Structure 1
Amino acid sequence: MKRQDFYYELPERLIAQDPLKNRSDSRLLVLDKKTGETSHKKFPDLLSYLEAGDCLVINDTKVIPARLLGQKKGTGGHVEVLLLKRKSKDVWEVLVKPGKKARPGAVIEFGGNLLTGEIIDVAEEGNRLIRFSFEGIFEEVLDQLGEMPLPPYITHKLEDKNRYQTVYARHTGSAAAPTAGLHFTPELLEKIREKNVTIARVTLHVGLGTFRPVKVDNILEHHMHAETYEISREAAQAINEAKERGGRVICVGTTSCRTIESAAEGGKVRPGKGETDIFIYPGYTFQVLDGLVTNFHLPESTLIMLISALAGKDQVLRAYQEAVREEYRFFSFGDAMLIV
């Protein structure tokens, strides 16, 4: 299976640069995975596709302001640090630009003396381990100094940090938002509950590995980076009971999908914590997932491969071509898609 099989043409003007004023004003392209038929709706119309007894699975991870701009001590050279994964209380795995300024022993200062970091080792794929020194609580210092780690295709400055968080974000730790959830409002979630649809919260801290481009021609040679997840006993029970009563399990976002499929065994979800590097592509048999709410993804990405596993590559690419013709907004701040 070739990377190029998942390519589509996208005009740059369709890449959404800013979130909409109101979260739920986005459009919703509905794809019937059995027939390939599409329909064009508004996001609140999602409600009409959910049925009593279904279970909606959401990822309640919270994005940290993981982008830090600093200067190398001694030279004053500008350095950008992106926090990827917490290894211990004060040690993080990070991505540093430019990398040549990040040899072990180098010290980087952020916000004057509010935060300093010493490079202590080189990790996988050239990432660095950095030990931070600071006064007070790290999260408060980070909130003061850090910026939201927006994807490189978004060039506009985000005015409100909360617009890169879901309204149900709870557990901090992500380097990127689970963007399918950005369309939900508290009011829409309440209407979903009133329809007797169960909402199950899982947590997967999104790392950059999810969004790394596939560089190999044969996608089977692509390596996914591990991300940490947690599924509570209550969430696992809600998902399993929905399956037992004949309801559907519909995930909000590819991260929620990857979480429950990673924890699935014999068609049931096991509670617990773990790490997953699951790579879902056509040919994969879903154990738990029945439907998916998702955004539009980059060409040749692991994410478009995942939805192609659910709805078929040809049907997905036809739907994407239709979305381009209809001028949907693409990627993180763009419109949404429902596959059922």
Structure 2
Amino acid sequence: MLDNLLSSYDYDLPSELIAKYPANPADSARLLVYERSSGKITHSVFYDLAKFLPECALIFNDTKVFKARFYGNKLSGAKCELFINKILANNEFLVQIRARVKENDFLIFEDDLMAKVLSLNEDGTRIVKFYKNNEELSTQEVLTISEKIGHIPLPPYLKRMDNSEDEITYQSLFAKNIGAVAAPTASLHFTPRVIESLKDKKSAYITLHVGAGTFASVESENINEHKMHSEYFSLSDEAISLIDSKIPILGVGTTATRTIEYYARTKLKSGECDLFLNPFNKPIRQNYLLTNFHLPKSTLIMLVASFIGRQNTLKLYDEAIKNNYKFYSYGDAMLII
């Protein structure tokens, strides 16, 4: 069976189709609409989203990206880069460090910020705490300082430094709860006029703090052996009410989708979501999906395949490539109805 093979989720993407910058305005991004009942494909633009939506309620992820990348030095003077992957308990952070470090090493950043390496994990990540003037900083204090000296954590495949415009464009219109190190990218296309066009639809918000694990590659050739990363989530009472109802649901992005489906399985209102949706673990509650175009062999393209199957997914990706759609975080969108 090909559906369980990692290599079966590969495709060739011309590098010029990787969107390095967002559409301007954001809702001028293109929209590929796929109707499952008929197999019909329609090419449109995002600001016409409302024209294609069936009866449904929309659930958005209101997480907010913080400036999770820091540039500094080791005590030796050698340069280093620290990227926060995830906020942990007890003022600790799971990070990646681009420099050779040992336990108890200190890294120095602007504004007298220091990071102490507490432990080294086998997967290459590190656990650190932050200090300033020899005082341990709380998680909130670190987040506050990050807004001053940190950098927007653009995905590595963009292969460019962040700029001041990314502080606006790599954040959704409804970003509220800070804690993500990557944007819920399907949300980036929404503008006030798109929201206005959807005013007759019920909507609600969940929070899932997107971690660096969203970019982690699948290592096992049998995808059923993949260990999914976990991310903190919480659901509003309004979202729970919608999920518990009979109304059809459109999940805005893969992060909202995973949270909706995790709640549908566990009834947990908050916690750590480690749900891996794929053709062997299909949605049980969500009806429709709005998403971007994702990396080959990623858990995200497998999530899309959980809705429409692997072959249909690759067919749509091929259609998007032939029509010069832009891919990945700042790229175009796809609606599955």
Q: Which structure 1 residue ranges, 5 or more long, are not aligned?
A: none
Q: CA deviation at 1:187?
A: 2.4
Match of 1:24 among 23, 27, 36: 27
Paired position in structure 2 for 1:250? 250
Which residue in the other structure is 1:181 paired with? 187
Alignment pair present for 1:150 and 2:149 = no
1:180-329 equivalences under 5 Å are: 180-193=186-199, 195=200, 197-241=201-245, 243=246, 247-265=247-265, 270=267, 272-329=269-326
Kindly report which structure 2 residues correspond to 1:53-64, keeping only aligned pairs within 5 A, or say none. Answer: 54-64=56-66
46, 69, 72: which one aligns with 1:70? 72
**1:338 and 2:319 aligned:** no
CA distance in 2, matches of 1:156, 1:56: 33
1:215 partner letter: E
- Give the distance between the partners of 1:33 and 1:126, measured in 2 at CA: 41
Separation in 2, partners of 1:335, 1:62: 21
Larger mean Cα displacement after TM superposition, 215-224 or 171-180:
215-224
Is this contact kept in 1: 2:243–2:264, CA < 8 A? no
Q: Distance in 2 between matches of 1:327 and 1:146?
A: 34
Partner of 2:9: 6
CA contact (8 A) 1:56 1:251 kept: yes
Q: CA offsets per residue over residues 108-128 of structure 1, 9 Å max, x none?
A: 0001x5211111112362311
State whether residues 18 and 158 of structure 1, in contact with CA within 8 Å, keep that contact through their aligned partners in structure 2: no
Deviation at 1:89, TM superposition (A): 5.2
| CA distance, structure 2, for counterparts of residue 239 and residue 215 of structure 1 | 33
**1:225 & 1:285 partners in 2: Cα distance?**
18
For the Cα contact (< 8 Å) 1:210–1:224, is it kept in 2?
no
1:62–1:165 Cα contact (<8 Å) kept: yes
Deviations 1:228-267 (A, max 9, x none): 10012222113333x2xxx3200010000000101114xx
Q: Which runs of no fewer than 5 residues in structure 2 stay unpaired? A: none
1:108 to 2:112 alignment: no
> What is the CA RMSD across the aligned residues, in angstroms?
1.6
Structure 2-normalised TM-score?
A: 0.92
What is the aligned partner in structure 2 of residue 86 from structure 1?
Answer: 87
What are the residue-to-residue correspondences of 1:127-142 with 2, within 5 Å? 127-134=125-132, 137-142=141-146
The one-letter amino acid paired with 2:226 is H
Does the 8 Å contact 2:277/2:283 carry over to 1? no
- Compared CA separation, residues 89 and 185, structure 1 to 2 (3 A): farther
**TM-superposition CA deviations, 1:27-57 (whole Å, max 9, x none):** 00011223332110110121012245x2101
Residue aligning to 2:177: 171
Q: Which amino acid letter does the alignment assign opposite residue 131 of structure 1?
A: K
2: CA distance between counterparts of 1:130 and 1:191? 45
Shift, 1:335, TM fit: 0.3
Q: What are the superposed Cα offsets for residues 110-157 of structure 1, whole Å, 9 maximum, x if unpaired?
A: 01x521111111236231111101378332311111111111110233
Q: Does the 8 Å contact 1:93/1:127 carry over to 2?
A: yes
Cα distance in structure 1, aligned partners of 2:198 and 2:181: 28
Q: 1:203 to 1:250 in 2, by over 3 A?
A: same
Query: What amino acid does structure 2 have at the position aligned with 1:108?
Result: L
Distance in 1, matches of 2:152 and 2:179, equals: 12
| Number of positions where the alignment pairs a residue of Structure 1 with one of Structure 2 | 326
Q: Are the counterparts in 1 of residues 86 and 212 from structure 2 also a CA contact under 8 Å?
A: no
Which AA in structure 2 matches 1:106? D
SS of the aligned residue for 1:307 comes to helix
Aligned to 2:119: 121
User: In 1, distance between residues paired with 2:324 and 2:257?
Assistant: 27
CA–CA separation in structure 1 for the residues paired with 2:7 and 2:143:
41
Q: Percent identity?
A: 37
Provide the C-alpha distance between the structure 1 equivalents of 2:28 and 2:291, rounded to a whole number of angstroms. Answer: 15
- Mark the CA change 1:36 to 1:283 in structure 2 (over 3 Å): closer, same or farther: farther
- Matched position secondary structure for 1:239: helix
